[in-house]
Structures are given as C-alpha cells and as structure tokens.
Amino acid sequence: MFKTMKNAWSIPDIRKKLIYTLFIIIIFRVGSAIAVPFLLPEKIKEWMGANSTGSILEYLNLLSGGNLSKAAIFSMSVQPFINASIIVQLLSYALPPLERLSQEGEEGRKRLNQITSVLAIILGIVMSTGYYFMLRNSMKAVKYTQGFEGVFAAVVIVACFVAGSSLIIWLGNRINEKGIGNGISMILFAGIVARFPDTFEILAIQAKNDPSKYFFIIPIVVIIFLAMIAFIVLMNNAERRIPIQYAKRVVGRKQYGGQNTHIPIKVAMSGVMPIIFASSFMQLPSTLYLFVQPNTVNPGTWDKIYIKFLEIFNPRHWVYMVLYGLLIVGFNYFYVSMQYNPIEIANNLRQSNGGIPGIRPGKPTSEFISRVLNKITLVGAVFLAIIAIFPMVFGSIFEELSSLTLGGTSILIVVSVALETVRTLESQMMMRHHKGFLE
C-alpha cells in the first residue's frame, strides 16, 4: 500500500488529486471542531457518555468521527446520505421509473444522484429535528439546558446540523470530481480514523492507573487489532471464480470467440451494508428508551416488562448478540440478491455464446450460479457477523476496555476504504503507463 502511494505521488496528475483530497479532508476536520451555537460541547459530551451506550446515538457518533458528542456542525456526518442511498437503491428495484433511470447509463446515474442528494437533505432535516428534541427533553431533566429551548435557537441548531450534512455531501462530490474518488467513503474514513488517538489515550490512562494488569492486556489488544485487520483484508480479497468458455464462431475468414474467462464473485461483496441495516434495527429499543423511560421507583406490570425488554436488547446480552448475528446474515442474503440475478446472468451468457463448462445453458446455468451464490453469501455473512459481534464479546470479557474504539464495523470501514483507494490509485497509474497499440 505504501509503495502504491509513493508511486502515485511521483505522477503529477495523481499528486494533484491526492493534495486536493487531503485539502478537503482538512476542511472536514476543521468543521468537526466548530460547535453549533446555543450548545455546550462539554455538557453534550458528558450527557452522551452517560446515555448513548448501545443506542443509535452511539452508532451515529461512530460514523461522525465523534462529532455528535462534540455538538459540531458536522454532527450528522454522512448518515443522511447513507440512508438516502439505501432507500433509493431499494426503491430502484421496486419502482419502474427509478429502475429505468438505473439502466440509462451515465445520465441515469446522475439523475439518481440528484434524487439521493435531495432525499439526504430531507432526512437530514428529520434527523436533526429529532436529535434536537431528544436533547431538549433529556437534558432538561438534568439542568443542562443553556437557553437552547427557544424557537429561534431550535431553528439555528437544526439549520446548522442540516447545513453541515449538506456541506459534507458537497465535499464528497468534490473528491469524486477532482480528487481520487470515493468521496463519501473517504470522509467516513477520516472521521473514524480521527477517533483512534482518543482510543490510545484511554488505553494509556488505564495502563498508567493499573500497570501490572495492563502489561498483559495491551499486547492482547494489539494482537487482536492486527488479527482483525488481517482477517478483513483476507476476506475482502477472497473471491470465487466461475469459469466461462465462449464458443468459437467463424465469419468469413475470421474466427471469433473461443476464449476462456471467469465471473468473479467476491465473498464480502455487500461490504458493511448488512451491519448498518442490522445495527439500525437492533438499536431501536435502546433509542426508544431515550424518549420513553419506565418508572423504576414504583414499576408496574408494563414497566417491568419494558425494563426486561431493554435488558435483553443490551449489546452485552447474549440474546442481543444472537439476534444481531441472524439479522446480519439475513440482510447479507437480501443485499446480495439485489446485486446478482442468476437468471439474467445465464441469459446474457447464452446470448453471447458463452457457458460454464459441464453445465447446460439456460435454467441449469442459473441454478448452478444460485448454488454458488448461496454458499459464498453464507461465508460472507458469517464473516460479517464475526466482525460485528466479536467487539461485544471482547467488551463483556474486558469491561475496562469497553470504551475503546475497537468496533469491528469501524475497522471494516477503514480497511475496506483503504483497500479500495489503493485499487483506485493502481488503476489510474495503469491507465497512465499503458502504451496503447499505436506505440
């Protein structure tokens, strides 16, 4: 990876793109240090630390690089855009107009991006408004309000959150156009990496307080961290190749076809999306607690049921882990089914005089591809479930280290974006070093 970065830096065009991307990331980090008016970052951080564990706020704070707990203008980060992208992608399979746009090439893609951006702004308004009211209702009970409960303050706070989310989308598009690409992913990458120093600081403080204990724990943490990175890299690059052979055709004196190739099916083709889907569902009960709290002084029958329900959906409860893993497996199958259509692949192969050796064209080919997809999807789903659930098990065993940013989701995002960036740079360098047939 470092060799690729060094080679890319030696090419003037790519060096300009790298500098431009770095400049955009610096703007993002500067915005992450600007607090929203009427909010006190210290009080917000204290409240988030006491109330966000296991809720959707903890997940949003992770994706924002800690901006949500600092009440920064980039608190919403790329979450509205991610949600809008998921919704548009799902609707493109259900609504014929969006499906036609997805099949119209570059122009259709631009139109879908515009729809996604508008929907992201709408979702940003909804999420910012909900976050404001949750802050106002929750922090009022502990006397943290500092004059932000007025109408004018509410409008300013929500507008700042929405403007920050829109600016992040714009910055991501600039990276796509003038930078090295993967704009939204790069900003998400920068936000997560920015939290790593806090993790090392927590580890250093705890090691200083109890050196005899952490003398053994710190090497374990480092080994686990490196093992997770190696495991993610291995599974990200793993693929199943289905061999394809094209029949020979003779037209006049020329012969066409006859070559052998393959269809690559990646094991982790769905990326982090199943984890995002599953996290959103599993964090709904704990998020509901922020709005509706049971009576713990004199609990009634429904209060006791509600308290038990919340205990089950604690991230350290075994029921939570099992349900979380099953949801990841289910969403992985769902996401892969949207990306791959075995019947369509079989039809395309038959139309281009291609086929799988030993498999008859048509229905037998689609059934063979379906069987391969089911096996590969199961392996990818188990991989994602292990990456997502392991930090919970680790936090249950070592409760002192539960506050560390050792989340499998964050490591998966960081490693995936790094690998994708390296592949993008390698492809751009290959295009510039390719001599062409005239040379």
Mean pLDDT of 286-314: 76
SS3 295: coil
Please tell us whether the domain made up of 238-404 is placed in CATH 3.10.129.10.
Answer: no
pLDDT for res 263: 83
Candidates 3.40.50.1820, 3.50.50.60, 1.10.260.40, 1.10.3370.10; CATH matching 1-195: 1.10.3370.10
Distance CA 313, CA 95 (A): 35
Average pLDDT of the residues in 163-176: 88
The pLDDT of 103-126, averaged and rounded, is 83
Distances (CA, A) of 316 to 136, 161, 300, 319, 329: 29, 31, 26, 9, 19
What are the C-alpha distances in Å from 365 to residues 225, 341, 346? 42, 12, 6
Q: What is the full DSSP assignment across 222-261?
A: HHHHHHHHHHHHHHHH-EEEEEEEEPEEEETTEEEE--EE
Which two structure tokens, joined as six digits, stand for 246?
């094209």
217 has a pLDDT exceeding 70:
yes
**DSSP H stretches of helix in 210-359:** 211-237, 273-282, 284-291, 301-312, 318-339, 342-351
Backbone CA torsion sign across 415, 420, 423, 425: negative
Residue 405 pLDDT > 50, yes or no? no
Instruction: Give the per-residue pLDDT at 436.
Output: 47
Q: Are strands 354-355 and 248-251 parallel, antiparallel or unpaired?
A: unpaired
- Answer whether residue 251 shows pLDDT above 70: no
pLDDT band at 257 (very low <50, low <70, confident <90, very high): low
* 10: its two tokens: 């030696």
Give the pLDDT mean for 248-258: 62
**Sequence-distant (≥ 6) Cβ neighbours of residue 292 within 8 angstroms:** none
pLDDT tens figures, 32-56 = 888 888 877 777 777 777 766 656 6
Tens of pLDDT along 180-210? 887 888 888 888 888 777 777 777 777 777 7
Res 23: pLDDT: 92
Model confidence at 399: pLDDT above 70: no
Cβ atoms 57, 51 nearer than 8 A? yes
What's the pLDDT at 407? 62
Q: How far apart are CA 310 and CA 286, in angstroms?
A: 7
CB 232 within 8 A of CB 409: no
- How buried is residue 348: exposed, middle or buried, by Cβ count under 10 Å (0-12/13-18/19+)? exposed
Give the residue among 373, 385, 379 at the shortest CA–CA distance from 412: 385
Q: Which of 55-69, 240-254, 339-353 has the highest mean pLDDT?
A: 339-353
Helices (H), 194-210: 196-209
CA-wise closest residue to 59 among 46, 71, 77, 35: 77
pLDDT value at residue 404: 53
Mean of per-residue pLDDT scores for the chain: 79
Our CA angle for 268, 273, 276, nearest 5°, is 135
How far CA 2 is from CA of 125, 191, 197, 223, 224, in Å, comes to 40, 21, 21, 22, 23
Q: Using DSSP, state whether 383 is helix, strand or coil.
A: helix
pLDDT of residue 52: 63
Distance from the first to the final alpha carbon of the chain: 30
pTM, to two decimals: 0.75
Percent of the chain with pLDDT over 90: 2
Return the domain boundaries, the chain: 1-195, 238-404
438 band by pLDDT with thresholds 50, 70 and 90: very low
Strand partners, 251: 254
What is the C-alpha separation between 45 and 71, in angstroms, rounded?
8
More confident residue, 402 or 89: 89
What would the mean pLDDT of 233-261 be, rounded to a whole number? 74
Per CATH, 1-195 and 238-404 having the same topology is answered yes
pLDDT tens readout for residues 371-388 = 888 889 899 889 888 888
